[in-house]
Amino acid sequence: MDSTVLESPMRRVKVSKVVVNSSIGEGGVRLERAVKILEMLTGQKPSVRKAKKTIRGFGIRKGEPVAAVVTLRGAKAEEFLRRALAAVGNRLSSQSFDDYGNFAFGIREHLEFPGTRYDPELGIIGMDIIVHLARPGLRVSVRRIRRSRIGRRHRLTREEVIEFLKSEFGVIIE
């Protein structure tokens, strides 16, 4: 019989969330521009993050806004991930993956996204993209009420994530 017919729906891998982070290092006009660019790329309003501690060498004070972050879930996350992978040429390093179903990569300039045009008023920003993949049922381990562990065989491995990306997104691992 065909293996896809026998596969349990609880064993399917899905994109749980995609986090887009742009650390500017300072507040003000540059951070506002980064927020506008992230909103334009993701279609969602970014959250502004503040510095946790003072770093004199970088001129950062505690509580000063320094970054913009967007978390995407569902269809938006998958659509954005396809565009982000196209921006890096559908190639990822094998070092980008961890052992728990997560991977991350960076984009030097937001102009690398297909269909993005340069706007001199906004400038150019780079960003980090962090992707979390999971199977249905992971919520059991992270919910607040009646939290429980999930079995080792139900967790994603590095190899399963790489195989999923190759089959679903056509990614080449280097």
User: 9-41, pLDDT tens digit by residue?
Assistant: 888 999 999 999 999 888 889 999 999 999 999
Torsion of CA 68, 71, 75, 81, to 10 degrees: 60
Is pLDDT at 1 greater than 50 in this prediction?
no
Would the pLDDT of 79 be above 60?
yes
pLDDT value of residue 4: 54
Q: State how many domains the chain has.
A: 1
User: For all residues of the chain together, what is the average pLDDT?
Assistant: 90
In this structure, what CATH number is given to the domain that contains residue 70?
3.30.1440.10
* Domain with 42 in it: 15-138+151-173
Asked whether residue 52 is domain-assigned, the answer is yes
Residue 105 lies in a domain: yes
- Does the residue 145 lie in any domain? no
pLDDT, position 6: 65
Q: Is the pLDDT of residue 3 over 90?
A: no
6 within some domain: no
Q: What is the pLDDT of residues 119-161, one digit of tens each?
A: 888 889 999 999 999 999 888 998 999 999 989 888 999 999 9
Amino acid (1-letter code) at residue 7: E
Does any domain span residue 97? Answer: yes
Residue 86: inside a domain: yes
Residue 5 has a pLDDT of 57
